Each structure stands twice: as structure tokens, then as C-alpha cells.
Amino acid sequence: MSKQRTPDGPPPPPVVQRLRLRYAKRGRLRFTSHRDFARAFERALRRAGIPMGYSAGFSPHPKISWVNATPTGVASEAEYVEIGLAVRCEPDDVRRALDDSLPPGLDVLECVEAPAGGPSIADLVDASSWEIRLPGVEPALLEKALAAFVAAEEVPVERRTKDGVRRFDARAPLVTSSVSSEPGPDGPCAILRCVVRHVTPAVRTDDILSGLCSVEPELAPPAPPEARRLAQGHLDDAGRLADPLGVDRALSS
Amino acid sequence: MESVFPQLERLLPRVQKPIQYVGGELNSVIKDWDSSEVRWALMYPDAYEVGLPNQGVMILYEVLNEVAGVLAERTYSVWPDLAALMRQNGVPQFTVDGHRPVVAFDLLGVSFSTELGYTNLLEALDLAGIPVTAAERTEAHPVVIAGGHAAFNPEPIADFVDAAVLGDGEQAVLEITEVVRAWKREGSPGGRSELLLRLAGVPGVYVPSLYDVEYLPDGRIKRVVPVSPRVPFRVQKRTVMDLDEWPYPKAPLVPLAETVHERMSVEIFRGCTRGCRFCQAGMITRPVRERSITGIGEMVERGLAATGYEEVGLLSLSSADHSEIGDIARGLATRYAGTQTSLSLPSTRVDAFNVTLAQELSRNGRRSGLTFAPEGGSERLRRVINKTVSKDDLIRTVTTAYAAGWRQVKLYFMCGLPTETDDDVVEIADLAKAVIKAGREATGQKDIRCTVSIGGFVPKPHTPFQWAAQADHETTDRRLKLLRDALGRDKAIGYRYHDGKPGIVEGLLSRGDRRIGAVIRQAWVDGARFDGWSEHFSYDRWMAAAEQAGIDVDWYTTRERGEHEVLPWDHLDSGLEKEWLWSDWQEALSEQTLDDCRDIPCFDCGVCPGMNTEIQVGPTGQTLLPLSVTR
């Protein structure tokens, strides 16, 4: 068969350090899709001169592993990514350099070194905490809807995916929830905070919302809801989320 | 001027790819509105993913924003899903930088690479709340200026634009800016009509409303005359000399959204004197002006640092023709060895040197397919179009590529060229088969591929083929089918083609006169948008619009013009002598070829003396020093 062309020169240097980063997607840049962000992140790494580890071959890819990206249009304070470096760096220098390289609104908040041989980030997160702001919705109405939602055995919802319409239960993954409110320019703004387990298919904030609307037909938000991921982590028995970088941070300090 | 983003933001969760409307690109600039005296909105009339990488808009954006007291923002065509929501909710066409309403700017500059963007101009004007008809605009509306290659015949959009700029825009936009600045400082004397008169005094600026077109009883143009003694009989194109003085874009825009060119581009020269007779770009951008090897090296280095791109494209109309391309390729490949930076050369020249270059550029990284453009299927036809490459040359070149390790070669052709017969097109199949056969012999392997890509030829203004009869779409489609049959079932040969109908509409728009404006308007009213996209284009809609406007499409497309017919663009001076174009057209018909004037003495196209310009080519004798690239 064909003789394989191989790149001239030595293979890429091995990864000597793994760093875990928490970043935020805020404001208008919440409309960045995950693919868009991934591309922008790779370019930011190059601009910042981070000594990335690369895969071998003619199409070398930087060593980057992603977990659980939020959907396009949903803001987040807690996205995680792990990168493999070919030269050891001070984690906070990497954080600062990357944050400076990314536009305001895509903000790198934390960077810690991952221990060799430890669990992957994906193993450290199994639930997220969300905030869903509903401008123009009376908090009492949202509370009524939430009570009906929580009381239900099952809240079937539908979502259009590229493989057609999927139907699944939005109730079971909901762990904790509460309603608060804030005055807004067009009347009150009801705020739902909830912790939702990561399941397959993923139950997203728009699924929770469509579930709420289905159990309480009066609930019809007049303006687009604003959803934001507040945290991700491992769910403990008390319904709290353990910080996925907590252990690494403790180890490195 | 307030941002419309809060209103827009409510619509974004409901549209496809909202990130394209958000702005925030790396290296974008938002200047203070109130302290700016002259404000430009720059538009590329296609989707963001196509428009953002456009070099012309990027260059002017940066050139203008560097000037104190001048602000430039960008706007692109919005997809129909957002356009519908914007109309429902009263959100106007906006810029992606400051999300300011386009109507609030002093100038709206629109860059047309293709005539198929005309309906998108009308849609954007309407969404902006700017009257589509230029004559209905007041001081409350921006001055709408067309630029780009299609602006060399802006007559079909004469009703919709206030002005057009012919040729290179870098200096012209600065002069236009100063005219507007002075007029505003004086308190806008004489209103919009005085401003247009003043703009018509800027070299390269054409104001269609200041010219009257008279017609003969048979429909041909009798003459085009200025209506004011203050405007010139002919408008001369602009030419930027010494590209090293214009190293733009210095900091290319890097979008968050995915676009059609995920790389940084550096223009290594402007103009082309190969003399391919079908090529409007090569004719209207003369003479050749090279950027120096060191100028290129600086742009690449600075651009990469400013963007983080991993690929650099060395752009021009025929990049292998740069007088120092060998040193450039070698120097850049050496400089970026081991940095994951790849280099590419959009190559269309058919010779072995091109393969060597591609090999040099790809020595650090992956190899995409190689592309060659013989354009015509037979040697006879290639003489007609002045693309003088023999069958042996082509086979030799492609064999070299296969032998050097390429597995995939793409060949570009056109269908419907002047004097073309069925046999000329069918001969493409013989060529493709010969390529595969020679490639297998050279490599001793079966797994090589050749893709034949073919589209319909559209005669363009300011070329020797401007008089030619365009092939009707039935002929084009029939020949494309004959070729498909002749290519047979060999899996080693791929076949890509564009059918003939869109080419007829493009032909109508590119060689049309002012009477075609009614067709464009009607097509837009009937829903024409994004005509360059097959899923949005409707031939029937355009033909119905032409019928309603009383336009005979054949008269504009498949009719051959005579030597003495006044062409709609004759008063727009690309520098090419009409007599020279005509004699080149006659030589085409008698299958005579013409050499490149970089290699032989001047062949009198007229550009250099007429425009007071000259060919600027190397070699400079300088080399690229390796930089200490940290990475």
C-alpha cells in the first residue's frame, strides 16, 4: 500500500503538566457555541504563548479536554477544561495570560494543577446548579408551578434535536429548587435556582422551564428567560455540590 | 448614538448561530460616537461567515479607524430568520461593533465581490430604514457607496447607490472622509446634492445621478453624459502604488463564529498581467504591484501574533507569480518550522514549480489537495482564453504532484467559453483520465484521485470577452451532462459542477445597464436574497421579475455586442483601452495568445500610461531572516 509520509523532525514533546481551568461565559458572549469557544480558546493559547503539548502526526492537536459545555445562549460561571503542557508553568500565570488573551465576557477564573493519576474532571462533576431569571413573571406564579412540578412523579418534556423530537422526564434529575424575586424594569423578575443532576439525555434549563410551563399553563414568560450555570460539582447526600477543583487546590497550596 | 443591542438580544435566542450578530471579535474597535466627525458603516452584503474574512472590508475598517475623529463599524447581511424578527420588533439593521443603527452613519460603504449581492443591499437598506431609492434619501440618511470588483459596472444598481468607488479603496476612502468632514464642518451647505457633487470631484468616485443615459431606438445606449460641468466625462479607477506602505490588515479580525476562511491572509501582490481573457479581476487590477519579501515577512509575523491563527494564506490572483515566491516560501517555512503554523498558497498555475512551492510550504504540516486551473478543456480553447498550458504541461505537473506524495488533485474548468464546442468540453474527460493514468504510472499505486470542478462562464465588463455572447443555460447544462457521461464511472475521478441558470442571472447583472435596476428591485420585492446561495436562489423568480420589468434577458446575456456599441460601463475607466480590448477579443477569436507583460515588452493595454502607474516587481534580493519564534 501507500508509503506513509511522516513529519520531519522529532515527535512532539510529552505532556509534563496538566492544568484545570474554570472559566465563565458572560453577557453577550453567552451566545458563543461550544465549538466557537473551543476554537477561540485554541487561538488564545497560541497568542498567550502557552507551551501546549500536542498530539503527533501531520494534524497535531493541542492537548485539551472539555467537560459538559453549556448550551449556546446560556451563561455560565462554572465551565471546566483541562490542558496538557509540554513545559511546566505557574498555574496563575497561565490563568492570567489566557484571560488577557480572551475577550471580556469569556473569563478564565481559576487554574490549578491536576495531580497525576487522579480522577478526571468528568468524574468529579455529576450535577450543576442553575439560575433562571424570568423577567415579567410573578414569583408567586413560579412558586405555584414549581410546587406542581416537584409534586409530580414525572414531568415529560419534548425537545427538538437533530435526530428528531425527543421525549424524556425532566422531574427526576431535579434535586433542589427555590424561588426568589427581584424588582425589574418591567415589573417583578422571578428567579428560579435549582440543582439538576447530569443525566442522558441532558435535562437543560429550557427543559425545566418547559416542564414548569406544562404543569402550570398560566406560566408564559413574556420575555426570553436568562439562564446561567452557577456551579458544577459532585453532589453530596445533603444536595450540595463539591467544588471539582477543591482537592487539587488544597494539594497545590 | 444608542446601541440597539438590548432589543436585539431578546431576539437572539430565537435565531440560528446568534454569535454572528454579537460582535466582540478580537481586534475589533469601538470608537466614541460623539467625538467622531465622520462615521462609516462598512458592509459586506452576505452572511457574516462569508463577509467577516473579506480582506477589503477588513483593510478599510482599519485604515479608517486609524484616523482621528473618524469611526468605522461593520455590518453584514442578516439571515431571513433574524430579518423577520427584526421587522416584527422594529429593530433596524445594525453594526456588529457598537450595535448602532446603520441609518445613523454618514456613509454606508458596501463591498461587492459579486453581483449576486445586489438584493442583499436592498434588503439591508430596507431593514435600516434607508430609502431603497437613492433619489428619495435626505440628509438624515447615509451616503451609500458601492466598491469592490462589481463596482466597475454599477449601472444596474445606479438607482440604489449614491456613488461607487472604482479600484483600490485605501486612499479613496480617506479622501471621501475629508470631503464629508469639510462639508459637515461648513454646516452641510447645499445639502445632499452639494455633497454628492463634491464627492464626484474625488478621483475614482462615480456618482450615477450626475450622468444621463440616452438610448437608441433599438435599445442600445446612445451616450452617457454628465449633467454638471463639475463632474468628469470618464471616471478613472484608483490604484494604490507601493503596497509596502499599506500593510493592512495589520491586526486581522478574529471572529468567535466559524467563517469560510479559518486562516489569516496576507496579500502578497495586487494585479495580474497573465492576460487570461475571461478574468475580470486580472484586467481591472493592473498593473502588478508586489509587496516586498520583507514586507510580507513582517505582515505574517505581526498578524500571527495579533490573531493566534494557525494557518497563513499567501493571497493574490496568481501567487506563484511573485518574483521572489521561492524565497518567500522557503523563508517562511524555515521561520515557522516546529510551531504548528501552516502556510498555504491558493494555486492555480499549472506548472511543476507550483508543486515544488506547495511541497516547501507544507513541509511542516498537513497537505490538503492541490488545485490547478486549466479553465478550458482543449488546447484550442485554452488559446482562445489565453491560458496557454498544453496537455503535456498539465500531465507533467500533475504527475509531479502525485510523485511528490499528493493523492488528490483538483482541476478547475469553465463551460460556455466563447467559441466553445461540445468537443472542447468532452475533452476534459480525456484529460482527467490521462491524469489518473499518468499518476498511477508515476506512483505505481491505484489510490489517487482527481476531481474535475466546472462552472458556467459569465462574460464580464472590462475584459476582452465583454462583447461575447454568453452561452444559454440549456447549452451549458447539456455540455455539463455530456462531460459527466464522458467521465464515466471511474471512482478515481470526482465531478463537481454548477448548473447554468445562476450564471444567466449573474450575466444579466454584470453586463446590465440602468434598466436592470427595475429587475433587481422586483426580484427583491418578490423575496430574492442571498442569491449566491443555491438554497435561496430562484431562477424563476428572477425571470418573472425581468418579465414584469419588461426586460429581455437574452438581449443582455446571449447577445454578442458589436465593436461600436456603447457599453454601459464605457464612461468608467479601468485604464484598459477599448481598442486594445477589442483587438484582444479578435485575437481570441483567431486563437492567438498573448504573453505576460512582465516577461516581454509592453503590449499596450493602456493601463500604465493612462493611469500614470507602473509595474512594481522584484526581485529585491533580500531574504527572510529566521526570527526567534517563542512557542
Write the DSSP string, B202-221.
Answer: STTEE-GGGEEEEE-TTSSE
Q: Is 60 exceeded by the pLDDT of residue B90?
A: yes
B78 within domain boundaries: yes
CB half-sphere exposure, B463, CA atoms < 13 A: 28
For residue B487, the distance in angstroms to the closest alpha carbon of chain A comes to 25
User: Residues A175, A239: contact at Cβ < 8 Å?
Assistant: yes
In the prediction, which pLDDT does B600 show? 81
> Do A105 and B447 make contact, defined as CB atoms within 8 angstroms?
no
| B179 membership: H or E segment, kind and range | helix B170-185
C-alpha to C-alpha distances, B424 to A107, B135, B384, B467, B629, nearest whole angstrom: 59, 48, 12, 21, 51
List, in order of start, the domains of chain A with CATH numbers: 17-122 (3.30.70.580), 125-241 (3.30.70)
> Do A103 and B366 make contact, defined as CB atoms within 8 angstroms?
no
In the prediction, which pLDDT does B370 show? 84
The mean pLDDT of chain B is 94
In the prediction, which pLDDT does B583 show? 96
Is the bond preceding B619 in cis, omega lying within 30 degrees of 0? yes
B538 within domain boundaries: no
Helices (H), B32-140: 48-51, 55-65, 80-89, 118-128
Residue B339's closest chain A neighbor by CA? A46
Per DSSP, the three-state class of B158 is coil
Percent of chain B with pLDDT over 70: 98
Number of structural domains (chain B) is: 1
Q: Which runs of E-coded beta strand occur in B275-341?
A: 289-290, 311-315
- In angstroms, the CA B100 to CA B75 distance is 10
Closest residue by Cα to residue B164 from B122, B205, B120, B196 = B205
- Report phi then psi at B540, rounded to 5: -60, -35
**Chain A contacts of B12, Cβ < 8 Å?**
31, 73
- In angstroms, the CA A215 to CA B524 distance is 45
- In angstroms, the CA B118 to CA B509 distance is 9
Strand duo A127-135 + A106-113: pairing: unpaired
pLDDT band of residue B71 (cuts 50, 70, 90) is very high
User: Residues B268, B618: contact at Cβ < 8 Å?
Assistant: no
Angle at B513 between CA B508 and CA B515, to 5 degrees: 95
**Chain A contacts of B21, Cβ < 8 Å?**
31
Q: Is 60 exceeded by the pLDDT of residue A15?
A: yes
> Do A39 and B258 make contact, defined as CB atoms within 8 angstroms?
yes
> Do A36 and B19 make contact, defined as CB atoms within 8 angstroms?
yes
**Chain B contacts of A72, Cβ < 8 Å?**
18-19
Q: Is A52 left (phi over 0), alpha (psi -120 to 50) or beta?
A: beta
Strand duo A75-85 + A17-25: pairing: antiparallel
Q: Is 70 exceeded by the pLDDT of residue B366?
A: no
Q: Convert the pLDDT of each residue in A34-57 to its tens digit.
A: 999 999 999 999 999 999 999 887
User: Residues B89, B9: contact at Cβ < 8 Å?
Assistant: no
> Do A224 and B13 make contact, defined as CB atoms within 8 angstroms?
yes
B474 within domain boundaries: no
Distant-in-sequence, close-in-space partners of B621: CB < 8 Å, separation ≥ 6: none
Cell of B407: 493523492
Q: Mutation test of the interface with chain A: which of B3, B14, B19, choosing the one with the most A Cβ atoms within 10 A?
A: B19
Crossing angle for the helix pair B352-361 and B391-403, to the nearest 10 degrees: 30
ipTM: 0.89
- In angstroms, the CA B460 to CA B463 distance is 6
Closest residue by Cα to residue A208 from A178, A160, A181, A170 = A170
Q: Mutation test of the interface with chain B: which of A47, A85, A186, choosing the one with the most B Cβ atoms within 10 A?
A: A47
For residues B241-264, give the mean pLDDT. 94
B327 within domain boundaries: no
Q: Convert the pLDDT of each residue in B183-221 to its tens digit.
A: 999 999 999 999 999 999 999 999 999 999 999 999 999
In the prediction, which pLDDT does A13 show? 85
Q: Can you give the CATH number for the domain in which B87 is found?
A: 3.40.50.280
B76 within domain boundaries: yes
**Chain A contacts of B336, Cβ < 8 Å?**
none
In the prediction, which pLDDT does A115 show? 85
- In angstroms, the CA A75 to CA B615 distance is 54
Cell of B556: 443582455
Cell of B234: 470618464
For residues B380-405, give the mean pLDDT. 91
Q: Convert the pLDDT of each residue in B585-620 to its tens digit.
A: 999 999 999 988 888 888 789 999 999 999 999 888
Residue A31's closest chain B neighbor by CA? B19
The mean pLDDT of chain A is 91
Q: Convert the pLDDT of each residue in B463-514 to its tens digit.
A: 999 999 999 999 999 999 999 999 998 899 999 999 999 999 999 999 999 9
pLDDT band of residue B452 (cuts 50, 70, 90) is very high
Query: B481-507 burial by CB neighbour count: b if 16+ within 10 A, else e?
Result: ebbeebbeeeebbbeebebbbbbbbbb
B29 within domain boundaries: yes
In the prediction, which pLDDT does B630 show? 45
Range scoring the smallest mean pLDDT among A151-160, A184-193, B285-294, B307-316:
A184-193
Q: Convert the pLDDT of each residue in B296-316 to its tens digit.
A: 999 999 999 999 998 999 999
B91 within domain boundaries: yes
> Do A73 and B18 make contact, defined as CB atoms within 8 angstroms?
yes
> Do B309 and A43 make contact, defined as CB atoms within 8 angstroms?
yes
> Do B258 and A8 make contact, defined as CB atoms within 8 angstroms?
no
- In angstroms, the CA B264 to CA B299 distance is 10
For residue A72, the distance in angstroms to the closest alpha carbon of chain B comes to 8
**Chain A contacts of B13, Cβ < 8 Å?**
73, 224
Per DSSP, the three-state class of B193 is helix
**Chain B contacts of A133, Cβ < 8 Å?**
none
Q: Is A57 left (phi over 0), alpha (psi -120 to 50) or beta?
A: left
In the prediction, which pLDDT does B358 show? 83
Q: In this predicted model, which residue has the larger pLDDT, A184 or B166? A: B166
For residues B339-364, give the mean pLDDT. 79
Nearest to A43 among B21, B308, B366 (CB): B308
Secondary structure letter of residue A104 according to DSSP: T
Q: In this predicted model, which residue has the larger pLDDT, B48 or A9? A: B48
Which pTM value belongs to this model? 0.94
Secondary structure letter of residue A173 according to DSSP: T
User: Residues A140, A200: contact at Cβ < 8 Å?
Assistant: no
In the prediction, which pLDDT does A7 show? 66
Q: Between A and B, how many residue pairs show a Cβ–Cβ distance under 8 A?
A: 85
> Do A73 and B12 make contact, defined as CB atoms within 8 angstroms?
yes
Residue A28's closest chain B neighbor by CA? B22
Closest residue by Cα to residue B461 from B152, B208, B113 = B152
> Do B10 and A223 make contact, defined as CB atoms within 8 angstroms?
yes
Domain that holds residue B80: 5-231
Nearest to A43 among B5, B24, B307 (CB): B307
The residues on A that touch B, with CB distances below 8 Å, are 1-2, 5, 7-9, 28-29, 31-33, 35-37, 39-40, 42-47, 49, 51, 54, 58-60, 72-73, 101, 103, 105, 223-224
B605 within domain boundaries: no
For residues B567-583, give the mean pLDDT. 97
The residues on B that touch A, with CB distances below 8 Å, are 5, 9-10, 12-14, 17-19, 21-26, 254, 256-258, 262, 305-310, 337-338, 340, 363-367, 405, 407, 445, 447, 630-631
Distant-in-sequence, close-in-space partners of B324: CB < 8 Å, separation ≥ 6: B290, B293, B618, B619, B620
Write the DSSP string, B519-577.
Answer: HHHHHHHTT---TTSTTT--HHHHHHHHHHTT--HHHHHTPPPPTTPBPTTTTEE-S--
